[in-house]
Amino acid sequence: MIKLTRLSGLEFYLDAEKIEYLEATPDTVISLLGGKTVMVKESVEVVVKKVIHYRRRLHAPFPSRGKKKIATAF
């Protein structure tokens, strides 16, 4: 989910996986899978950066808590 701002100033969270494409008209229009559209205050560039950041966090490995010894039987 990414945090965005509607033109009215209301903040909301959008599922970044549902974005089909973005348009700058001059406001940013987000077209979602399923045909709905949302207009936001953020520029296209800012929305793209937020989506990239979201996806990097989503696919980042979990931090290690230290090395675990693996027992091997021979």
Instruction: Report pLDDT for 71.
Output: 61
- Any domain includes 25: yes
Instruction: Report pLDDT for 68.
Output: 61
- Any domain includes 7: yes
Picking from 61, 66, 51, 50, the residue whose alpha carbon sits closest to that of residue 17 is: 51
pTM of this prediction? 0.79
Instruction: Report pLDDT for 70.
Output: 61
Distance between CA atoms of 17 and 37, rounded to whole angstroms? 14
- Any domain includes 67: no
Picking from 58, 36, 52, 50, the residue whose alpha carbon sits closest to that of residue 2 is: 50
CATH number (domain holding residue 52): 2.40.50
DSSP 8-state code for residue 25: S
- Any domain includes 65: no
* Sign of CA pseudo-dihedral 8, 9, 11, 16: positive
Instruction: Report pLDDT for 67.
Output: 64
The residue segments making up the domain with residue 25 are 2-59
Name beta bridge partners: 2.
14
Instruction: Report pLDDT for 7.
Output: 98
Residues of the chain with pLDDT under 50: none
